[in-house]
Amino acid sequence: MTIIFGIFLLTLLVITAVAVVRTANLFVAVMLLGIFSLLIAANFLLLDAADVALTEAAVGAGISTVLFLGALALTSERERAATPHRWLSLIVVVSATLVVLYATFDKPTFGDPEAPVQQHVAPWYLEKTPEYIDVPNVVTAVLASFRGYDTLGEVFVVFTAGIGVLFLLSAQHGHAARRRPDEDGSNIGLRDDLIPRVVGRLLVPFILLFGLYVQFHGDYGPGGGFQAGALVAAAFILYALVEGEDRTLEALPFNALLTLMVSGALLYGLVGLAGIVFGGTFLDYSVLADDPVAGQHLGILLIEAGVGLTVTGVLLAIFHAFAARDRF
C-alpha cells in the first residue's frame, strides 16, 4: 500500500518540477520549489530514509526559501527573455532522457534485497555497529565513525562554500553595501506586525530546544549535527525576520558566527588528530577512552558537535551576507 503512496507522491513531484521550469515568474518558481522540497521529504520517509527526510525538512522548509527570496530581492523577479533555441534544447534533452530511461531497465527491481548495492559493505555496517559503536542509529554510526573521513570532507566543503559567499558578498563591507537600520526601514523585519512578531518570538526558543534535542538525540533516533545546525540556523533566521537583522546581530554578532564556523571545523580536525596522539589512526575514536566503545561514543559526540557548529555558522553567515546587501 505504501508503494502506491510513493508512486502518487512521485507523480506529484514530476508535475511540480515541470511547473517550476515552465513558469517565468521566479517568485512562483521559488514557491513551487518549496512544495517540491516537501514532496521529496515525504518520499524519503517512505523510502525508509528518516535522517535524510529530517535534513530536507530542516533545510528545505525555511532556509532555502529565505535564501532564494533574498537573492530575488537583490536581482529580479522575472525571467525577461524567452528561451532561445527552445526546440534544439528540447530535442537534446528528450534524447538524453531516452538514453537514461533505457539505462534504468538494467536496474534491479525496486526494493530487491538481492541487488548488488545491498551486498557490498552495508550488511557489514548493520552487523558490526552494535559491536563496535553500540549506537542504535546506524546512519549516525556510519556518518560519524565508519565514514568519518568522508564527513570531514563534507564539513570542509560547507565551510569553504561559506567563505566563498562571504568573499563574494562582503566586497564593500562596512560602508557602501551595509544599509543603516533606520535609513529606509527595510531591514527592521516584521517588527511592526504584532501577530507574527509575538508568535515568532514564542517559537524561537522551542526551535532552539528542538535543535539541541536533534543534535544530542542523533545517536538514538533521526538526527545529528547537520540537521541540528540547520534547525538552529532556522531559529535565528526566524528571529531576524520578526525582529530585524540588527537585533539578531546583537544577539549573535557576526564575528561570533565566524568563530562558530572555524571552531566547528577545527574541533572535527582536532578530534581526528587526537586519535593519532593517543596512539591510534586519524579519526579513530576507539583510543579516546579506556573502553573502545566509550571512546567511539565520545568521538561521535564531539564530531557531531563540530558539524553542528560549522553548519549553523555557515548558514547564518550566508543569510546575513545576503540580507546586508544593498537592494536595487
Residues 303 to 322 in contact with another protein, rule: CB under 8 A: 311, 314-315, 318, 321-322
Q: CB of 221 within 8 A of CB of 228? A: no
Cβ proximity to another protein: between 29 and 301 the closer is 29
Nearest to 178 by CA among 190, 170, 188: 170
Cβ-based neighbours of 213, under 8 Å, separated by 6 or more: 223
Determine if 149 is a binding residue for another protein (CB under 8 A): no
Instruction: Encode 5-39: b = buried (16+ Cβ within 10 Å), e = exposed.
Output: ebeebeebbeebeeebeebeebeebbbbbbbbbbb
Least distance to another protein, CB of residue 277, Å: 26
What span, in angstroms and rounded, lies between the C-alpha atoms of 315 and 248? 14
Q: Which is nearer to another protein, 85 or 290 (CB)?
A: 85
166-205 residues in contact with another protein (CB under 8 A) are: 168-169, 171, 184-187, 189-190, 193, 195-196, 199-200, 202-203
Stretch 112-141: interaction string toward another protein, x if CB under 8 A: xx-x-xx--xx--xx--xx-----xxxx--
The binder of another protein chosen from 107, 182, 255, 290 (CB under 8 A): 107
CA distance 283 to 89: 47
Cβ 11 to another protein, closest distance in Å?
A: 8
Nearer to another protein, 126 or 277 (CB): 126
Cα atoms in the Cβ-side hemisphere of radius 13 Å centred on 70: 22
- Within 8 A by CB and 6+ apart from 11, the residues are none
Is 291 an interacting residue with respect to another protein (CB under 8 A)? no
Of 20-79, binders to another protein (CB under 8 A) are 20-21, 25-36, 38-59, 61-76, 79
Q: Half-sphere exposure of residue 47, counting CA atoms within 13 Å on the CB side?
A: 18
State the number of binding residues for another protein (CB under 8 A): 165
Q: Is the dihedral of CA 286, 289, 292, 298 positive or negative?
A: negative
Place of cell 583510543: 287
91 binds another protein (CB under 8 A): no
2 binds another protein (CB under 8 A): yes
- Residue placing its CB nearer to another protein in the complex, 229 or 272: 229
How many residues would you count in the chain?
A: 328
Among 133, 214, 265, 301, binds another protein (CB under 8 A): 214
**Cβ nearer to another protein, comparing 109 with 255:** 109
Task: Choose the binding region for another protein from 82-90, 253-261, 269-277, 290-298 (rule: CB under 8 A).
Answer: 82-90
Task: Determine how many CB atoms are found less than 10 A away from the CB of residue 243.
Answer: 20
For 312, the grid coordinates are 549553523
Q: Tell me how far, at minimum, the Cβ of 313 lies from another protein, in Å.
A: 11
List the grid coordinates of 209.
Answer: 530546544
> Cα(276)–Cα(55) distance, rounded to whole angstroms?
32
CB of 146 to another protein, least distance (A): 9
CB–CB of 323/172 below 8 Å?
no
Q: Is 277 in the site for another protein (CB under 8 A)?
A: no
Tell me the one-letter amino acid at 107.
Answer: K
For residues 219-238, which are near another protein according to CB under 8 A?
A: 220-224, 226-227, 229-231, 234, 237-238
